[in-house]
Amino acid sequence: MEDRPSQPQRHRFRKSNSVNRIYLDHNATSPILPRVREGLLELLDSHHWGNPSSLHEDGRHARKILEEARDRVAFALHVEPSEIVFTSGGTESNNLAITGLVTDDSSISTSTVEHPSVLEPVKKQHQLGRSGSLIPVDPSGRLELDQVPDKGLVSIQWINNETGICQDLDLIGEAVHRSGGKLHSDGAQGFFREPIHLGNSNLDSASITSHKSGGPSGVGALWVRKGLLHQPSTHGGPQEKKIRPGTENLLAIHGMGLLAESFSSDQPWNRERLKECRNQFANALSELPNHQIIQQSDRDWPGCINVSLSGIHAETLLVRLDMVGISASSGSACSSGAREPSHVLKAMGIADKDIRGSIRISLGPDTTIDHMQQTARHLTTIVTELRQKSAGQPPVL
């Protein structure tokens, strides 16, 4: 008789030393806001664990929590609660929109700088024979508006996760709607950071996620105007009007509702403060040779800085930054294991040699000017040392 495997060792959580670190990876995940955390703990301590589909008192209480969260999300986005479908996050919402908003003969198009959760399912539909196009961007990362299709489904990201470049969804929507097309947007990097009146926008559908803006992970939503969703992508239950069947993640949904409430009242993401942090970082880095920061306009998201450092491998740089207590990334967290140069930067015409040394610094509600100045100083020291080592010169002591 074979020996039974030993019980897997339980991970022992230790208190994070994040108080001594500088966290600059908010576009991947932003720490839960204090107000949201307090509300999650309150629900955990309340012992209300009914299934929202159950008819007994515990189930009715769970249903009330669920619908209150839906109301909060709808209020923050200026839409009807009935138009909000809760999902597991942005990726599921994007896939649900791409499969559910098209008719049998309609096309699907998207841009060359989209998140993989849009690009991959759209490319899959093209491989299966559905028509459509990949819309190019100009060197600034903005859509070539004269190449936007005016038919079928078009999915365009609101704020790019690697560059912070913001697309003009109203203008794009006008182009798409000329012949009855529909416009969907992946808004993972925008919702609950930037104000938007979805109900008055030129969008027909939008994907929403929680953890990019200070809510729990594993929860998101799809907003769709009434009557536009043709078919669900999964089947098996009556939840969420049969659009997204399966027992709802009540705790996470409650947290997303609290995030929406915090956004409506507190506005924790202050655009002007983030812009000042970005400017101070750029100034502090100005004396470092051979670096380039992707330029933004006033409409773009200032909390995302993409900086290219010639002659440096991004992975080496990120490890060195991590060693001095700074968390940053080299692009999308969903594709950080990929060895290929960023498809976003390639689409903007940036050379591979510059892309390889490109890192993303993304700011959040707790980022300070001092954080950015410290990061610039460490970055200057590390890059100078790596370049000297590569050139065979002794480091400056």
Whether 277 is a known active-site residue: answer no
167 or 245: which carries more pLDDT confidence?
167
Is the confidence at residue 148, as pLDDT, over 80? yes
Cα(202)–Cα(154) distance, rounded to whole angstroms?
12
- Looking at residue 151, what is its pLDDT? 87
Is the confidence at residue 7, as pLDDT, over 80? no
| Residues listed for the chain | 397
Split at pLDDT 50, 70, 90, the class of 19 is: low
pLDDT in tens, 159-215: 999 999 999 999 999 999 998 899 999 999 999 999 999 999 999 999 999 999 999
Fold of 20-30+270-390: Aspartate Aminotransferase, domain 1 (3.90.1150)
Cα(36)–Cα(211) distance, rounded to whole angstroms?
11
- Looking at residue 164, what is its pLDDT? 97
Task: Note the Cα 389 to chain centre separation in Å.
Answer: 36
Read off φ and ψ for residue 111, nearest 5 degrees: -95, 170
Spans of all domains in the chain: 20-30+270-390, 34-265
Biggest CA pair distance of the chain: 74
pLDDT in tens, 277-336: 999 999 999 989 999 999 999 999 999 999 999 889 999 999 999 999 999 998 655 554
Picking from 149, 201, 222, 206, the residue whose alpha carbon sits closest to that of residue 180 is 149
Cα(115)–Cα(134) distance, rounded to whole angstroms?
13
Cα(296)–Cα(131) distance, rounded to whole angstroms?
33
- Note whether 128 and 174 are within 8 A (CB): no
Picking from 389, 394, 373, the residue whose alpha carbon sits closest to that of residue 22 is 373
Cα(305)–Cα(361) distance, rounded to whole angstroms?
5
Task: Kindly give the residue spans of alpha helices, DSSP state H, lying in 329-368.
Answer: 343-347, 352-355
344 or 17: which carries more pLDDT confidence?
344
Is the confidence at residue 18, as pLDDT, over 80? no
Written out in words, the top-level CATH class of the domain with range 34-265 is alpha beta
Is the confidence at residue 394, as pLDDT, over 60? no
Cα(293)–Cα(318) distance, rounded to whole angstroms?
17
- Note whether 189 and 220 are within 8 A (CB): no
Eight-state DSSP code of residue 200: G
Residue 231 tokens read as 């078919």
Average pLDDT in the 26-36 region? 97
Cα(39)–Cα(390) distance, rounded to whole angstroms?
51
Who contacts 41 (Cβ-Cβ below 8 Å, separation ≥6)? none
Judge if 20-30+270-390 and 34-265 fold alike in CATH terms: no
- Note whether 120 and 107 are within 8 A (CB): no
Is the confidence at residue 341, as pLDDT, over 80? yes
pLDDT in tens, 202-233: 999 999 999 999 999 999 999 999 888 767 77
Q: Give the type of residue at 34.
A: P
Task: Quote the percentage of the chain above a pLDDT of 70.
Answer: 92
- Looking at residue 360, what is its pLDDT? 97
- What is the distance in angstroms between the CA of the first residue and the CA of the last residue of the chain? 64
Split at pLDDT 50, 70, 90, the class of 16 is: low
Who contacts 229 (Cβ-Cβ below 8 Å, separation ≥6)? 100, 101, 205, 243
Q: Indicate the pTM of the whole model.
A: 0.91
Is the confidence at residue 15, as pLDDT, over 70? no
Is the confidence at residue 395, as pLDDT, over 60? no
What is the average pLDDT value for the chain, to the nearest integer?
Answer: 91
Single out the catalytic residue among 166, 277, 304, 334.
334
Split at pLDDT 50, 70, 90, the class of 397 is: very low
Who contacts 297 (Cβ-Cβ below 8 Å, separation ≥6)? none
pLDDT in tens, 67-101: 999 999 999 999 999 999 999 999 999 999 998 88
Interior CA angle at 175 toward 174 and 178, to 5°? 85
